[in-house]
Structure 1
Amino acid sequence: MMAGKVWLVGAGPSDPGLLTIKGKDVLEQAEVVVYDQLVGQGILQMIHKSAKKINVGKYSGNHTVVQERINEILLEEALEGKKVVRLKGGDPFLFGRGGEELELLCEHGVPYEIVPGITSAISVPAYAGIPVTHRDFTSSLHIITGHRKKGCQESIDYKSLAALGETTLVFLMGVAALSDICRGLIEAGMDQTTPAAILERGTTARQRNVIATIATLPEEATKQNIGTPGIIVVGKVCSLSQTFAWAEKRLLGGARVVVTRPKDKASTLAAKLYDLGAEVVMLSGTSTKPIADNNQLIEVLHTIKDYKWILFGSEVAVDIFFDSLWQQQIDIRSLWNCHFGAVGPATRKAIEKRGIRVTYMPEKYYGTELGKGIAAMALPEDHVLVLIPNETDSELANYLSTANVQMKAVPVYDIIYEENEQVCIEEADIVTFTSASTVRSFVKTMKDMDFHKVQAVCIGELTAKEAALYGMKITVAKEATIDSLIERVIEISMRGSYHRFEQ
């Protein structure tokens, strides 16, 4: 058996955009991933579906798996010849016990690599508008752990910290000890008006910041019910937070959006939402697969000259149609007398990439609207071909079946519903749906949740109809486009921001 290997990967503070390129590459190739509670959901979704995932979930006051057992798990999996990633929040060597986890591997000669991560000690203050160093305010930076090893009575040397003068102090894992830390610094001689901050769930949509002084911070944090995970920053640089604040000022800053697009269509929507400041959670539970040995399609392709119109309701259908023409060795010039119809811009673009001009696309990007337009344009003797998903309701085919049109609807692909792990969805989250199939996939994955609490943004009426079956709170995009869907997300987010500020 080939020897395995362990990679200690720093996942950063939570935002998947802050994971290093090397960290992402290693994670996607891992056969086993041993991860912590503080690793962001967006990063966990980068793990390959086939990988074995082991949650060792350490968080304040609760160690699901003790450190010694974590060390043993890494060794056991590596000795089985596997590629093992130990995925840790922040950086593995900054109070991350990375050194402890290497000791057992070294004893047994197991190869390993370290992939540093962006530490929350710098990134979380940055997301709160706090530069941990600034020449006008501080001459040094000190990072201190507020959490001690079990059984260790050693306390923080507050006198030495207070004597540092113009400095920035960052306390990690110290939320539970906030009162002790502030009191200890004051008693050691630090000016009680020194600016201080506690930063909760930094870099996520639920980020909250409380800026005060070391004398008032514990009381203010209690008023705001600040919890973990969080870090404490002490120093004059905290006074810059209001001036330099930026994360919440983004259009979707503070919004958490669950994207349910199929795997091969998720990138555009997710990227646009992320660029606007949203925390994006991917839930890609569907994929498409061309129907194998599709005799019905093959028969149609060999008589394609008989059709005056060829209509597409999706990019997937376009690709399968043209790929099948090639596979059947049918010359594309056979389409010279055909007119092409597309349900919307993305489908039109897919057709035109093949060198074909689209004759008709409706102003409103719905299957029914495409059907209405073709019914008005097609002559009674025109044969119309519609390419649809298998065993799925098609607005386009449904409309044309009741119109005075010689239509043939041919299924060309199956929608595959894949198993997904449930993600944590809060009532304030927004869930986007781009088809009825994504609604069904979501329901199958999140089967134990109360769907009446789901704030659903749907791309069209057929999608909204499916969501309504489960009692979701529904908003429908004005147009069946990704940009229109995002506009609705922004509207809902703005309303949510208003209510959060009011509270």
Structure 2
Amino acid sequence: MQHEGKVYLVGAGPGDPGLLTLRGRELLQQAEVVVYDYLANAKLLRHAPKDCIRIYVGKKGGGLHACTQEHINRLLVEHARAGRTVVRLKGGDPFIFGRGGEEIEELAAYGIAFEAVPGVTAASAAATYTGIPITHRRYTASVAFITGHEDPDKPLSNIDWNKLATGAGTLVIYMGIKNLPDIAQKLMAAGRRPETPAAVVRWASMPQQESVIGTLADIGDRVRAAAIKPPALVIVGEVVQARGCINWFEKRPLFGRRIVVTRTREQASALVSQLENLGADCLECPTIEVRELADYSQLDAALERLADFDWLLFTSPNTVQHFFRRLQQAGQDSRALYGLRIAAVGSSTAKALRPFGLRADFLPEKYTGEALAEALIASGFAQGQRFLLPQAAQAGKILPDKLRAAGATVMVVPAYETVPATEAGAELQAALDAGAVDCITFTSSSTVRNCFALLACENEAALRQALARVRLAAIGPVTAKTIAEYGLPVAIMPERHTIADLVSALLHHFTRESPAARV
């Protein structure tokens, strides 16, 4: 007899992937099938196993449905009856205008086990991220959630606008953009003052959040002038007045800036996190993939003769990770490095050594391979010394060549390889064509070359024209030199070549050119 599966209705929250509950993340990590909505941030799918079945059933306003509700119900039933663990990922909270009740009823009718996990609803998120407290002792102690789009098959509306208009201090209206003029008119006709403050928030909690402030009398005209489209919520009430001093989300220094991150997906998290905390909208476009080598014979041979070297040089965190992975696979650990001095090209690389109980003996002031070679030579650590340099198979030769010219013996061994990524080119090209990119960040020469390879097209002149409108940011001079080879200027480069300093340079640059203040 086949084992029956189980369905988990999980609230995905309003959009910001950081607002997913811990329980929701735990269930996603166990999912065999994820059925997700238009309003569920696709980044949440990274919590799911790689072999998980992903089914998009997005529904938008205006009848643009990927699936009908009946089909969604059938999908949940079929996969559960096949014995799978199903996560139904729904934007906001499943039971607040999310039709979660209907899906649960369908599961119950078939005797399928289920669990519902609440999520941060769009109402509280839209208010909080716009600086509007939906309740406030000075203004109101009551709030009502209302749908602005009832079931079109119902013969009569069950919304009593006459009672709602003055029956709750704050009104939060879901899915009300299309009918906003009519809703505002009904509220005023039922006794709500025309000068009552009102706000409309689109894409609440997301980097592309937009808000429009007005009164009940003019909010419809303001929304039309600002071309606000769904998904958006309407907040009506005196609490909107508090926004002036509480609004924090849209005041962040990089809010409204679209910044492309070209690092590998595994390495991008630190840069993306820091930029998003400052308000940036990050488009992750990994241009390279880091892979293990097909042949490790050179590195393995070097590991067997570590005692023959005086120095071990690391030029990137990737090198550290792959070197020690291979060392451990050979049945050894950090004790095998006894007697070796270790030099790292920068603070990030030095930090990567710490989990292995090691500290770098030598760091250059400037974080480049060339600067490391020059610093070692100037300190008298080159002539007659024997260096082991594990690095990427495609790495440059400046560091070993300079050391050899100064009388050192350098053994270069590949520890990993980088290959061009191929998936993100279309999304980046579309964003460039739409003029929706403010900056592209590059953290190595390979990210530059692979990015331009991804964007290669027949109309090279048009591509260069599109890139000319975008600020290009390089983490250091080597990367900047590679950008220059394509005939393009570098607008942003930090003095110290670390991720933290790159973020600081971006912040400094765009603070001087902050986008126009939003209403």
TM-score (ref. length: structure 1): 0.88
Cα distance in structure 2, aligned partners of 1:431 and 1:149? 44
Aligned partner of 2:220 in structure 1 is 218
Tell me which residue corresponds to 2:50.
49
Does 1:389 find its partner at 2:392?
Answer: yes
Using the TM superposition, give the Cα deviation of residue 189 of structure 1 relative to its aligned residue in structure 2, in angstroms: 2.3
Q: CA deviation at 1:210?
A: 1.5
2:34 is aligned to: 33
Counterpart mapping for 1:352-501 below 5 A: 354-376=356-378, 377-393=380-396, 395-397=398-400, 399-400=402-403, 404-415=407-418, 420=423, 425=431, 427-428=436-437, 430-439=439-448, 452=467, 455-464=471-480, 474=490, 475-495=492-512, 497-498=514-515, 500-501=516-517
- Residue 500 of structure 2 aligns with an amino acid whose one-letter code is D
C-alpha separation in 2, matches of 1:86 and 1:236: 37
8 A Cα contact 1:74 1:84, kept in partner: yes
Are the aligned partners of 1:384 and 1:408 in contact in 2 as well (CA < 8 Å)? yes
* Deviation, structure 1 residue 379: 4.3
Contact (CA 8 Å) 1:459, 1:485: kept in 2 or not? yes
Please say which of residues 460-469 and 361-370 is displaced more in the overlay. 460-469
What whole-Å deviation, never above 9, does each CA across 1:176-212 have from its counterpart, x for those lacking one?
1111111111122221111111112211122222221
Contact 1:260/1:431, CA 8 A, preserved across alignment: yes
TM-aligned CA deviation for residue 129 of structure 1: 1.0
Name which of structure 1's ranges 109-118 and 273-282 shifts more when overlaid on structure 2. Answer: 273-282
Do 1:133 and 1:237's aligned partners in 2 also have CA atoms closer than 8 Å? yes
Do the aligned partners of 1:260 and 1:284 also contact (CA within 8 Å) in 2?
yes
Distance 1:36 1:403, change over 3 A: farther
Distance across 2 between alignment mates of 1:330 and 1:89 = 48
CA distance in 1, matches of 2:40, 2:413: 45
Q: 2:296 is matched with which residue: 281, 294, 297?
A: 294
- Within-5 A mapping of 1:14-25: 14-25=15-26
Distance 1:105 1:473 in 2: 58
User: In the superposition, relative to structure 1, how do residues 333 and 419 fare at CA in structure 2: closer, same or farther (>3 Å)?
Assistant: same
Q: Residue type of the partner of 1:460?
A: G
Matches within 5 A, 1:120-131: 120-131=122-133
Counterpart residue number, 1:160? 163
2:101 corresponds in structure 1 to: 99
356 and 176 in structure 1: CA distance in 2 versus 1, 3 angstrom threshold: closer
- SS of the residue 2:179 aligns to: helix
Q: 1:310 to 1:204 in 2, by over 3 A?
A: same
CA distance in 2, matches of 1:78, 1:472: 54
What are the Cα deviations for residues 9-52 of structure 1, in whole angstroms up to 9, with x where unaligned? 11111011211111111122222211111122433443333222
Higher mean displacement: 145-154 or 239-248: 145-154
Q: Is the 8 A contact 1:436 1:466 kept in 2?
A: yes
Aligned partners of 2:253 and 2:514 also within 8 Å: no
1:67 corresponds to = 69
CA drift of 1:291 comes to 3.5
Alignment-derived partner of residue 199 in structure 2: 197
RMSD: 3.2
Offset, 1:423: 5.5
Q: Is the 8 A contact 2:15 2:91 kept in 1?
A: yes
The residue identity in structure 1 corresponding to 2:410 is M
- Residue identity (%): 38
Q: Is the 8 A contact 1:14 1:43 kept in 2?
A: no
Q: 1:383, 1:290 → 2: CA distance?
A: 26
TM superposition shift of 1:251: 3.3
Q: Distance in 2 between matches of 1:170 and 1:396?
A: 62
**TM-superposition CA deviations, 1:138-175 (whole Å, max 9, x none):** 232111101122333534432122242x6111110001
CA distance in 2, matches of 1:6, 1:285: 36
Aligned residue runs from structure 1 range 301-320, under 5 A: 301-320=303-322
- Aligned CA distance change for structure 1 residues 137 and 352 (closer, same or farther; 3 Å): closer
Deviation string, structure 1 residues 220-251 (Cα, Å, up to 9, x no partner): 22222222211111111111111211112233
User: Against the structure 1 CA distance between its residues 441 and 72, is the aligned structure 2 distance closer, same or farther, given a 3 Å change threshold?
Assistant: farther
Structure 1 residues 139 and 309, CA gap change in structure 2 (3 angstroms): closer
Contact 1:459 1:480 in 2 (8 A): yes
Q: Distance in 1 between matches of 2:481 and 2:365?
A: 22
Which AA in structure 2 matches 1:60? G
- C-alpha displacement of 1:445: 7.3
**What is the deviation of 1:433?**
3.4
Tell me the amino acid that sits aligned with residue 511 of structure 2.
M
**1:393 shift after superposition:** 4.0
- Cα distance in 2 for partners of 1:152, 1:447 equals 53
Flag structure 1 segments of 5+ consecutive residues without an equivalent: none
Other structure's SS at 1:476 match: coil
Report the Cα offset of residue 404 of structure 1. 4.7
**1:312 to 1:145, Cα distance in 2 relative to 1, 3 A:** same
Contact 2:383 2:406 in 1 (8 A): no
Match of 2:350 in 1: 348
Match of 2:49, SS state, is: coil
Measured after TM superposition, the shift of residue 326 of structure 1 is 5.1
Note if contact 1:12-1:18 (Cα within 8 Å) is conserved in structure 2. Answer: yes
Which is worse superposed, 152-161 or 61-70?
A: 152-161
User: Number of residues paired by the alignment?
Assistant: 501
Alignment of 1:81-92 (within 5 A): 81-92=83-94
- C-alpha displacement of 1:454: 5.6
Letter in 2 for 1:385: L
Give the Cα separation in 2 of the matches to 1:335 and 1:127: 51
Aligned residue identity for 1:174: G
Report the equivalent of 1:108. Answer: 110
Distance in 2 between residues matched to 1:12 and 1:446, nearest whole Å:
34
SS at match of 1:34: strand
